């Protein structure tokens, strides 16, 4: 589904990703781990199309389509979803209106008619239940006044509503207490199917106790320096990132 080859990216002329390769197949969950500053969040942002990041080399294909050619909105319409590390508060834009606009623009892109109001509200109800997100959304502005945990749950709720092919979770676990973490993870697990895939970016192993990955990759200095199964995460937890740094830098 997702195929990243030799990806180089920089921010303000500082090279961050330095030849990253990654293959993700439908139905798989990949965890990207790594020390701070290794380029984890850059990867998520580059895939979503944030303009501050410049791709200097390499390619990214989603089901054969060149993602890097597309605007952020077209990537989303093709099925890329980035759950933000820091979801933005937008006062004056209602949660519901935002979701309806997003959903219908994605549907229009696929040649589908807009959802009927009732159908839409049923879907909101169903998905809120699925991800255990009970915040009152009607008449509330997007993320405004939400706690850190509510914001992250709102990201997963949006993911559930928009049903992307590829969900990228950018440190969704940061700032969450253990209950919120379990709820978020549970939501993601419910949304896993054989047709979609997840890339879970995290600093800590603890999220991976709940979202069990098929593969774990260690990102260091802009490249994937080690790949393995979920046991690699445990090993990392035990030995720390210094172990990686030492073996790579040596």
Residues that bind other proteins (CB under 8 A): 48-51, 71-73, 75-77, 81-82, 84, 87-88, 90-93, 97-98, 101-103, 105-106, 109, 141, 158, 162
DSSP conformation class of 67: G
Give the sign of the dihedral formed by CA 65, CA 162, CA 200, CA 228.
Answer: negative
Q: Are 49 and 70 in contact, with CB atoms under 8 Å apart? A: yes
DSSP conformation class of 208: G
Segment (H or E) for 230 = helix 230-239
Nearer to other proteins, 95 or 205 (CB): 95
CB of 172 to other proteins, least distance (A): 15
Nearer to other proteins, 117 or 250 (CB): 117
CB of 54 to other proteins, least distance (A): 15
Nearer to other proteins, 187 or 213 (CB): 187
Nearer to other proteins, 48 or 124 (CB): 48
CB of 41 to other proteins, least distance (A): 14
**In sequence order, what DSSP letters do the residues of 12-65 get, joined into one string?**
TTEEEEEEEEEEE-TT-EEEEE--TTSSHHHHHHHHHT-TTEEEEEEEEEETTE
Nearer to other proteins, 67 or 236 (CB): 67
Question: Angle, to 10 degrees, between the axis of helix 148-162 and the axis of helix 95-109?
Answer: 30
The residues, ordered by sequence, that sit 6+ positions from 205 with a Cβ below 8 Å of its Cβ are 33, 233, 234, 236, 237
Nearer to other proteins, 71 or 147 (CB): 71
CB of 113 to other proteins, least distance (A): 16
Nearer to other proteins, 104 or 206 (CB): 104
The residues, ordered by sequence, that sit 6+ positions from 214 with a Cβ below 8 Å of its Cβ are 28, 29, 30, 229, 230
- Give CA 16 to chain center in angstroms: 19
CB of 161 to other proteins, least distance (A): 9
Alpha-carbon torsion, ordered 170, 212, 58, 164, to 10 deg: -70
């Amino acid at each position: 589904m997702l195929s990243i080859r030799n990806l180089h990216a920089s921010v303000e002329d500082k090279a961050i990703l330095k030849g990253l390769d990654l293959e993700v197949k439908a139905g798989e969950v990949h965890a990207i781990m790594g020390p701070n500053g290794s380029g984890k969040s850059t990867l998520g942002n580059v895939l979503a199309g944030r303009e501050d990041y410049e791709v200097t080399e390499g390619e990214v294909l989603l089901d054969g389509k060149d993602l890097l050619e597309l605007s952020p909105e077209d990537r989303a319409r093709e099925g890329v979803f980035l759950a933000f590390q820091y979801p933005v508060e937008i006062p004056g834009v209602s949660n519901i209106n935002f979701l309806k606009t997003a959903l219908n623009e994605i549907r229009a892109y696929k040649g589908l008619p807009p959802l009927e109001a009732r159908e839409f509200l049923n879907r909101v109800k169903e998905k809120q239940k699925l991800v255990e997100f009970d915040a009152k959304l009607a008449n509330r502005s997007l993320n405004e006044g939400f706690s850190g945990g509510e914001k992250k749950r709102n990201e997963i709720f949006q993911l559930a509503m928009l049903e992307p092919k590829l969900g990228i979770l950018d440190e969704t676990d940061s700032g969450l207490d253990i209950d919120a973490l379990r709820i978020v993870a549970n939501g993601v697990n419910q949304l896993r199917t054989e047709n979609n895939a997840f890339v879970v970016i995290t600093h800590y192993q603890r999220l991976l106790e709940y979202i069990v990955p098929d593969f774990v990759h260690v990102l260091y200095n802009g490249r994937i320096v080690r790949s393995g199964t979920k046991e690699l995460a445990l090993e990392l937890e035990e030995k720390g990132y210094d172990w990686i740094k030492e073996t790579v830098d040596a």
